Amino acid sequence: MTEVYAMRRANGDWFALERHGRFRVPLFHSSNDGMMARVRNFGMLLFEPVALDAKLLETIAPGGDSNVDFCMVNDPSTSLKRSALIPHSELALMINSPIEVRSVQANGNGEHASAITASQKSEWWNWDVVRLQEKA
């Protein structure tokens, strides 16, 4: 799955630029790119990068709102106005692409090590066992 980030404020507002009477929402390839762009653009200081999903995309542009454009910022150190426009439909496909299965290291007996230690952490009499497993 391709992660795409947009800048959102704590109160739920999304960062957008006005360009030719339309709103342009800059998108980033990573949260680090969003943070770098935030340093360069004073108006973004109160915003944090948030990974977009279909639900959040609908809050930004309900029903594919024709008054909102999306642009992908390939280099966060350049002007946000120089970013390439992305059609709403293409962005929706990027966000809704099938999730990649990530490999998880097992402890050798077919069970995930994190599942074993997580279940023992809630029992106080296994505290020393959990501590030893976490250090290993």
pLDDT at 135: 44
Answer yes or no: is 100 within a domain.
no
Residue whose C-alpha is closest to residue 25's, from 77, 89, 88, 75: 88
In the predicted model, what is the mean pLDDT of the chain? 75
CA dihedral 24, 25, 30, 35 (to 10 degrees): 90
What tokens does 25 get?
């929402």
pLDDT digits (tens, 9 = 90+) for 10-57: 999 999 998 888 889 999 999 999 999 999 888 899 999 999 988 888
Answer yes or no: is 101 within a domain.
no
pLDDT at 116: 41
75 in the same domain as 17: yes
85 in the same domain as 44: yes
Answer yes or no: is 47 within a domain.
yes
115 in the same domain as 84: no
Domain ranges, residue 28: 5-95
89 in the same domain as 29: yes
52 in the same domain as 81: yes
Type and span of the H or E element at 133: helix 127-135
Identity of residue 32: N
- The pLDDT-based confidence of 68 (bands split at 50, 70, 90) is confident
What tokens does 128 get?
């020393």
